[in-house]
Amino acid sequence: MALTPTEKIWMDGELVDWGEARVHVLTHSLHYGLGVFEGIRAYPTSQGVAVFRLTDHIARLFSGAHILGLKVPFGSEELVDAVKTVVAVNGLDTCYIRPIIYLGYGEMGLNPIPCRVNVAVACWPWGSYLGDDGVANGIRLKVSSWARHDPRAMPTAAKGTGMYINSSLAKVEAVLAGYDEAVLLTTDGQVSEGSGENIFVVRRGRILTPPASSVGALEGITADSVRTIAADLGFEVSESHLRRTDLYMAEEVWLTGTAAEVVPVTSVDDRVVGSGSPGPVTRAIQERFFLAVRGELDRYKDWVEHVT
Ligand code: PPE
């Protein structure tokens, strides 16, 4: 999806014009992929624009930096404020926000210790990642031939930039084969996650989702929100290892992520899921999620962080 430029990007404490927000071609992270980022969304509410679970996203950004050994030259409150500033200054009431911590220009070689750590925060209007039709009517999912990173080889708890080679390979394979999204399995065949989303299934009326840390999936903030919402709706949610065929036999399947939001899956490897249209559990959770992010439900008001 093509970028729609906004006015300003926050770079290392300054607001820079969108077109001037450049890095050098010898930027360390461009070569070795050692960086960490976040994906956050802001939504309109009756009291103005609000960032969904901003504090939790910035906390995950810092824990990713900690895992990767990056010393961030800003505190988490400064980055919370940077996000609010960027959203406010660009005057958007709906947008996607991308903070990134990366190793800048000045050093080369695999030892990152001497490198300068840079931070940037951009935002732009970004529609639903898997399309409005996907959110409304469901998407076609394909099990990838690429396995998800083994957590012993890559620190999958960090949203590390270079780790997304794995996601990109899976995504491209799925799209070229005519599917909307890929789901990756672990090297021993357990369901892990989508290329940029966590996964949930309904089997025999229970909601199941793989245990993120042991299958090398990111601990999604949308997934956490959905678990709370599902419990509030009276559903039991359990962490469970799932095999590929559990996806085929599921009554419902959906994906969660900041960019994707909550997206029904209507087929997996061309096997129709349930009735072939989004199921009642998916629908109920989607409906409550979209009300929650817009600050329309008091129960979740702590998730909605106003920018001014
Ligand atoms: N797994 C992966 C691999 C992942 O990238 C994401 C978010 C999730 C799970 C869900 O996490 P959360 O957003 O906290 O619910 N993916 C981000 C980047 C997507 C992109 O294409 O870029 C996102 O959704 O912002």
For the chain, the structural domain boundaries read 8-124, 132-293
Q: Report the distance separating Cα 20 and Cα 123, nearest Å.
A: 15
Return the pLDDT at 308. Answer: 87
To the query of whether residue 159 is one of the catalytic residues in this protein, the response is yes
Whole-angstrom Cα distance, residue 247 to residue 254? 10
Quote the ligand 1 centre to 198 CA distance (angstroms).
Answer: 8
Please state which of the four CATH numbers 3.30.390.50, 3.30.70.1230, 2.40.50.140, 3.20.10.10 is assigned to the domain occupying 132-293.
Answer: 3.20.10.10
Cα(218) to ligand 1 centroid in Å equals: 8
- Atom nearest to 223 CA in ligand 1: 15
Query: How far is the centre of ligand 1, averaged over its atoms, from the C-alpha of 196 (Å)?
Result: 4
- CATH number of the 8-124 domain: 3.30.470.10
Question: Mean pLDDT of residues grouped by 10 in the chain (308 residues)?
Answer: 92 98 97 98 97 98 98 98 98 96 95 95 94 95 98 97 98 98 98 98 96 97 98 97 98 98 98 97 98 98 96
Atom of ligand 1 nearest to the CA of 193: 1
| Prediction pTM value | 0.98
Residues with CB under 6 A from ligand 1: 39, 167, 193, 196-198, 217-218, 220-223, 256-260
**What is the distance between the alpha carbons of residues 151 and 116, in angstroms, rounded to a whole number?**
27
Q: Per residue in 152-180, is it b (16+ CB within 10 Å) or e — as a string?
A: eebbbbbbbbebeebbebbbebbeeeebb
Which of these is catalytic: 8, 142, 159, 171? 159
pLDDT of residue 77: 98
